[in-house]
Amino acid sequence: MSPRHTLKIDDEYERKGVAEIFLAVAPLIGQRIVQVTENRTRTDWAHFMKGVSDVWFPEAKKIVLVMDNLNTHDIGFFYEAFDQEEAHRLAQRFEIHFTPKHGSWLNISEIELSVLKRQCLNGRIDELSKVQSEVKAWTEQRNCEVHNVNWQFSTTDARIKLKLLYPEVK
């Protein structure tokens, strides 16, 4: 090769698969509930939520959720995943509130996913089982540290942070 030419290397990206992460945050107790799956379907979400209900909060009468408007987030999908009696039981336990469009900063799970990506998934992991074990270790560590979430605004703070949503009255 002549001195005028530089060595050219062509890297080839080979996709090994994808992993989907379901994440819920219990802000009052500082705990994260995380599951890594191959798919992100309606029934995958329904099964994740059943785990939230029956494993994490079996005694709760009502579980209040704040989530984004993702196409898999719908209580009706319990009826696709479970028999009618079980689906109805689960549907009665959850109360869902959706964040506004472009309001991901209001979604605690989105914030935690960002932390998870920075602290745990910042490189390429080529096997689903490795992703699952890394995420499990991160979740256990994060839950031991009990990072509580103070997700409240005073009216004054809300008017400052959300001023686009409040009309100006003159």
- What pLDDT score was predicted for residue 104? 66
- What pLDDT score was predicted for residue 28? 81
d(CA 114, CA 151): 17
Q: Note whether 87 and 78 are within 8 A (CB).
A: yes
Confidence at 76, pLDDT banded by 50, 70, 90: confident
- What pLDDT score was predicted for residue 84? 96
In the chain, the percentage of residues whose pLDDT exceeds 90 is 31
Q: Which CATH architecture has domain 20-161?
A: 2-Layer Sandwich (3.30)
The dihedral through the CA atoms of 35, 84, 96, 70 has a sign that is positive
Q: Quick one: which H or E segment has residue 156?
A: helix 155-161
Q: Note whether 147 and 30 are within 8 A (CB).
A: yes
Question: DSSP string of 30-59?
Answer: TEEEEEEES---HHHHHHHHHHIIIII-TT
Most confident of 61-75, 82-96, 110-124, 154-168: 82-96
Q: What token pair was written down for 145?
A: 């540290």
Instruction: Kindly report, residue by residue over 32-49, the tens digit of the pLDDT.
Output: 999 999 888 889 999 999
DSSP state of 85: H
In the chain, the percentage of residues whose pLDDT exceeds 70 is 81
Q: Judging by DSSP bridges, how do beta strands 63-67 and 20-26 pair with one another?
A: unpaired
Q: Note whether 23 and 34 are within 8 A (CB).
A: yes
Instruction: Kindly report, residue by residue over 79-116, the tens digit of the pLDDT.
Output: 999 999 999 999 999 998 888 777 666 778 888 888 88
Report the DSSP beta bridge partners of residue 97: 66
d(CA 79, CA 87): 5
pLDDT at 120 over 90: no
Q: Classify 111 as helix, strand or coil.
A: helix
- What pLDDT score was predicted for residue 151? 66
Segment 46-69 mean pLDDT = 91
Segment 72-85 mean pLDDT = 88
Q: What token pair was written down for 48?
A: 């994740």
Instruction: Kindly report, residue by residue over 17-34, the tens digit of the pLDDT.
Output: 678 889 898 888 888 999
